[in-house]
Amino acid sequence: MNWTVRYRASVEKDLARLPGDIRTTLLAALKGLQDGPFPSGYKKLRGSNNRFRLRVAGDYRIVYSVLKQEATILVEFVGHRKDAYRWF
Protein backbone atom coordinates (compact mmCIF):
# COMPACT_ATOMS: atom_id res chain seq x y z
CA MET A 1 0.00 0.00 0.00
CA ASN A 2 1.42 3.36 -1.01
CA TRP A 3 1.01 6.22 1.38
CA THR A 4 0.58 9.86 0.41
CA VAL A 5 3.34 12.04 1.85
CA ARG A 6 2.51 15.71 2.43
CA TYR A 7 4.85 18.41 3.74
CA ARG A 8 4.44 21.58 5.76
CA ALA A 9 5.66 24.66 3.90
CA SER A 10 8.53 25.04 6.36
CA VAL A 11 9.96 21.62 5.41
CA GLU A 12 11.04 22.83 1.96
CA LYS A 13 12.80 25.81 3.53
CA ASP A 14 14.50 23.58 6.09
CA LEU A 15 15.74 21.24 3.36
CA ALA A 16 17.10 24.13 1.30
CA ARG A 17 19.28 25.26 4.24
CA LEU A 18 20.98 21.87 4.70
CA PRO A 19 24.25 20.73 3.08
CA GLY A 20 23.81 18.89 -0.22
CA ASP A 21 24.87 15.42 0.93
CA ILE A 22 22.58 15.53 3.97
CA ARG A 23 19.73 16.87 1.85
CA THR A 24 20.09 13.95 -0.59
CA THR A 25 20.00 11.42 2.26
CA LEU A 26 16.93 13.06 3.81
CA LEU A 27 15.11 13.17 0.47
CA ALA A 28 15.75 9.44 0.00
CA ALA A 29 14.33 8.76 3.47
CA LEU A 30 11.28 10.91 2.70
CA LYS A 31 10.71 8.98 -0.51
CA GLY A 32 10.96 5.74 1.48
CA LEU A 33 8.06 6.88 3.67
CA GLN A 34 5.74 6.30 0.70
CA ASP A 35 6.16 2.56 1.24
CA GLY A 36 5.00 2.80 4.84
CA PRO A 37 5.07 5.09 7.85
CA PHE A 38 7.07 2.74 10.05
CA PRO A 39 10.51 2.16 8.47
CA SER A 40 13.43 0.72 10.35
CA GLY A 41 14.63 3.14 13.03
CA TYR A 42 11.39 5.04 13.63
CA LYS A 43 10.24 5.91 17.15
CA LYS A 44 6.99 7.21 18.55
CA LEU A 45 7.27 10.59 20.27
CA ARG A 46 6.18 10.69 23.88
CA GLY A 47 2.93 12.48 24.64
CA SER A 48 1.56 12.10 21.13
CA ASN A 49 -0.84 9.60 19.65
CA ASN A 50 0.28 9.75 16.05
CA ARG A 51 3.60 11.63 15.87
CA PHE A 52 6.84 9.79 15.09
CA ARG A 53 10.47 10.57 14.36
CA LEU A 54 12.93 8.95 12.01
CA ARG A 55 16.65 9.20 12.59
CA VAL A 56 18.59 9.89 9.39
CA ALA A 57 22.33 10.41 8.84
CA GLY A 58 23.10 10.26 12.55
CA ASP A 59 22.18 13.71 13.82
CA TYR A 60 19.23 14.56 11.57
CA ARG A 61 15.55 13.86 12.19
CA ILE A 62 12.32 13.68 10.26
CA VAL A 63 9.29 14.32 12.49
CA TYR A 64 5.97 13.27 11.00
CA SER A 65 2.36 12.45 11.83
CA VAL A 66 0.46 9.44 10.53
CA LEU A 67 -3.15 9.80 9.47
CA LYS A 68 -4.13 6.14 9.07
CA GLN A 69 -7.69 6.60 7.82
CA GLU A 70 -6.47 8.84 4.99
CA ALA A 71 -3.29 6.80 4.35
CA THR A 72 -1.35 10.06 4.63
CA ILE A 73 1.94 10.98 6.25
CA LEU A 74 2.35 14.66 7.18
CA VAL A 75 6.02 15.64 7.48
CA GLU A 76 6.25 18.39 10.07
CA PHE A 77 9.99 18.92 10.52
CA VAL A 78 13.25 18.00 8.83
CA GLY A 79 16.56 19.08 10.32
CA HIS A 80 19.23 18.68 12.96
CA ARG A 81 18.25 16.92 16.17
CA LYS A 82 19.10 19.95 18.33
CA ASP A 83 16.17 21.77 16.70
CA ALA A 84 13.81 18.84 16.13
CA TYR A 85 11.88 18.81 19.39
CA ARG A 86 11.74 22.50 20.30
CA TRP A 87 8.27 23.18 19.00
CA PHE A 88 6.52 19.89 19.82
CATH code at position 23: 3.30.2310.20
Domain total in the chain: 1
pLDDT-derived band at 39, boundaries 50, 70, 90: very high
Contacts of 80 (CB under 8 A, 6+ apart): 59, 60, 61
Give mean pLDDT, residues 26-43: 93
Q: Which domain holds residue 59?
A: 4-84
pLDDT-derived band at 86, boundaries 50, 70, 90: confident
Q: What's the full length of the chain, in residues?
A: 88
- Give the Cα separation of 59 and 71 in Å (integer): 28
pLDDT-derived band at 88, boundaries 50, 70, 90: low
Contact 60, 79 (CB under 8 A): yes
